[in-house]
Amino acid sequence: MADLRFDAREVTNQSPPYEDVDLYGSDAALIQAVKANGAGGEGKALSAFGRHWGRAAMFAQAKFANENPPRLDGNEVEFHPAYHAFMAESVAAGLHVMTWKADGARAAAPAEVARAARFYMVAQVENGHMCPITMTRAAVAVLAADPALLASLMPKIASRSYDRSFQPWRDKSGMTLGMGLTEKQGGTDVRANTTRAVPAGEGYRITGHKWFMSAPMCDAFLVLAQAPGGLTCFFMPRFEPDGSVNGLNFQRLKDKLGNRSNASSEVEFADAFALRVGDEGKGIRSILEMVQLTRLDCAISSAGMMRMALAQALHHARHRTVFQKKLSQQPMMVSVLADMALEAEAALALTMRLARAFDGAAANPAEAAYARLLTPAVKFWVCKRAPPFVYEAMECLGGNGYVEDSTLPRLYREAPVNAIWEGSGNVMCLDVLRVLAREGDVARGMIEGLGGEAKDLPGAEGAAVSICKALAGAQAESHARLAVEQLALLAAAAALRKSAPPAVVEAFARTRLAGPRGATYGAALIDSHEAAALLDRALPG
Ligand SMILES: Cc1cc2nc3c(=O)[nH]c(=O)nc-3n(C[C@H](O)[C@H](O)[C@H](O)COP(=O)(O)OP(=O)(O)OC[C@H]3O[C@@H](n4cnc5c(N)ncnc54)[C@H](O)[C@@H]3O)c2cc1C
């Protein structure tokens, strides 16, 4: 008689976990973008970094850090040990400081690209802890306005030792910095800030609140407040000069959609001690360079999340059989994945190209102009593309993609924040318009130059003309989203030209700049042979 028993424990046709991977060596687009943007010499170090961060243990730690969010305990925040472990890793790797020299001056090229490549790999594993890492590195740009203060802080900021202890920064082996700009009544509109600063003794006393202040266990914060001379930037340490705890009173931690390993607080300042950074009334100017750097990081981080989502989807498709064939051999799934591979590579190429502009800005006015015009455009496009991208990757895994065991739900919750903080989408487009208003000829020359770099590619020259027209027209603000999106696509085509094989560049331009395409991934005309090559490039089989 036949044995009719059924063993439900037997697991078949499920993909193995995507772990113990080499995040650098398995990413041909990253290797080539790093080389194309001047950091080819970093290859060996990046390879070691990619293997280290791609270990199964790292993915497991990321899960712990996000499943066990921080808790407010009095005026201190308690984090899960996994969060501290990530902080220690990223600080030891210098991600919070490697673009600065020991004295706080800019490090030589290709420091930005070398860091961007690492940051992109870290973003594939754990995102929450990257918030204080980003803020610490960007804060140095603001502190440069006060050379004496910067000189006293740099030995602690430049330290590769993560010191989680709660004590004055002078007594610690290393420090991190946060920022408090956003208030209840005004985030984007910081001019509406009501927090007040009154000169007192060697510094100021600050009274007011911040509606969002992330990573509240940082050792100090750059804070905007209204001084007698207007909106001003301040350095506010967690401890007073006499060693007592400073007047930062945390009200609660936000209950956020994602970004759960990171703490974001509401805080009141009660006569808190702070030092002025830069002149009174120059607060907005002080923070401008800082937000350019954090915006670059938002884009890199979103590109990294897209990469992880793509890798998970592709890995699954290569293991899962449906209708007697692997998903990776089903023509429509191949179209979806290939279209996603194009988008992910473009996001990467664009962010690495932008990082190179930061590397070159001090010595080359054209690179500085590129950074001014393209930072908001790249932040806008890449960060906006990440959430629907992660969603599509989730669907590639079918039901498994919706379950926490795959990392897709966490990535899906994490993805929108990069588009919101550090200037939301519309604000980025307004920033592009501002650059055009201030330096129209240079910016228009830059856009035409991008059209020239992408010359011969389908749709490129027409795109350059229509971007300039739209951004200069009477309806510029109303039409800005379309024009800025096109600007990012044109810049991506130009960036890909330097780092990707001609077939990838052509397919990107044909499906993005020349159309036609639909609203979903896979709704573009990519032939099957072309798609197969894109998938081979995206992840070794
Ligand atoms: C998880 C998290 C952590 C954060 N951490 C920090 C932190 O550590 N420090 C800090 O200072 N802030 C922090 N923020 C705040 C964040 O930077 C702001 O929320 C963000 O900049 C948007 O500002 P807002 O919330 O005031 O929105 P608003 O300024 O009210 O904007 C709302 C919407 O209106 C749009 N908009 C604004 N102006 C215009 C316009 N003129 N035309 C058309 N549209 C417009 C915006 O694009 C946005 O979509 C954090 C936010 C989040 C979600």
Encode 451-510 in three state secondary structure. HHHCCCCCCHHHHHHHHHHHHHCCCHHHHHHHHHHHHHHHHHHHHHHHHCCHHHHHHHHH
Fold of 285-538: Butyryl-CoA Dehydrogenase, subunit A; domain 3 (1.20.140)
Size of the chain in residues: 541
CA of 345 to the centre of ligand 1 (A): 28
The finding on whether 145 has its CB within 6 A of some atom of ligand 1 is no
**CA 461/CA 412 separation, integer angstroms:** 35
| Residue 204, Cβ density class (10 Å: 0-12 exposed, 13-18 middle, ≥19 buried) | buried
**pLDDT number for residue 355:** 98
Tens of pLDDT along 303-322? 999 999 999 999 999 999 99
Q: How confident is the model at residue 8 (pLDDT cuts 50, 70, 90)?
A: confident
Closest Cα to atom 11 of ligand 1:
181
* Alpha carbon 537 to its chain's center: 24
Structure tokens belonging to residue 273:
């001690």
**CA 162/CA 177 separation, integer angstroms:** 12
CA of 429 to the centre of ligand 1 (A): 14
> In the chain, count of helices (H) and strands (E)?
18, 11
Whole-model pTM? 0.97
Contact 493, 513 (CB under 8 A): yes
**pLDDT number for residue 461:** 87
Query: What CATH architecture is 169-284?
Result: Beta Barrel (2.40)
The finding on whether 25 has its CB within 6 A of some atom of ligand 1 is no
The finding on whether 190 has its CB within 6 A of some atom of ligand 1 is no
**pLDDT number for residue 341:** 98
The finding on whether 262 has its CB within 6 A of some atom of ligand 1 is no
Report the candidate in 209, 219, 358, 369 with the shortest Cα–Cα distance to residue 293: 358
Report the pLDDT averaged over residues 313-342.
96
Report the candidate in 438, 458, 277, 454 with the shortest Cα–Cα distance to residue 353: 454
Structure tokens belonging to residue 366:
């054209």
Name the percent of the chain lying above pLDDT 90: 94
Q: How confident is the model at residue 3 (pLDDT cuts 50, 70, 90)?
A: low
169-284 and 285-538 agree in CATH topology: no
CA of 166 to the centre of ligand 1 (A): 29
**CA 276/CA 202 separation, integer angstroms:** 10
Atom of ligand 1 nearest to the CA of 181: 11
CA of 195 to the centre of ligand 1 (A): 17
Q: Where are the domains of the chain?
A: 28-157, 169-284, 285-538
CA of 532 to the centre of ligand 1 (A): 41
Contact 354, 492 (CB under 8 A): no
**pLDDT number for residue 2:** 60
Atom of ligand 1 nearest to the CA of 178: 8
Atom of ligand 1 nearest to the CA of 427: 47
Report the pLDDT averaged over residues 192-211.
96
Report the pLDDT averaged over residues 55-73.
98
φ, ψ dihedrals at 93, nearest 5°:
-80, -10
HEC readout, 123-186: CCCCCCCHHHHHHHHHHHHHHCCCHHHHHHHHHHHCCCCCCCCCCCHHHCCCCCEEEECCECCE
Q: Could you say which DSSP state residue 517 is in? A: B
Atom of ligand 1 nearest to the CA of 428: 47
At residue 421, does pLDDT exceed 80?
yes
At residue 1, does pLDDT exceed 60?
no
The upper half-sphere exposure of residue 292, i.e. CA atoms within 13 Å in the direction of its Cβ, equals 25
Closest Cα to atom 43 of ligand 1:
426
**CA 75/CA 97 separation, integer angstroms:** 27
Tens of pLDDT along 219-276? 999 999 999 999 999 999 999 999 999 999 999 999 999 999 999 999 999 999 999 9
Tens of pLDDT along 466-516? 999 999 889 999 999 999 999 999 999 999 999 999 999 999 999 999 978
Choose which residue among 130, 185, 212 to substitute to test ligand 1 binding: the one with the highest number of ligand atoms within 8 A of its C-beta.
212
Per-chain mean pLDDT for the chain: 96
In whole angstroms, how far apart are CA 294 and each of 135, 213, 271?
A: 7, 15, 29
CA of 404 to the centre of ligand 1 (A): 29
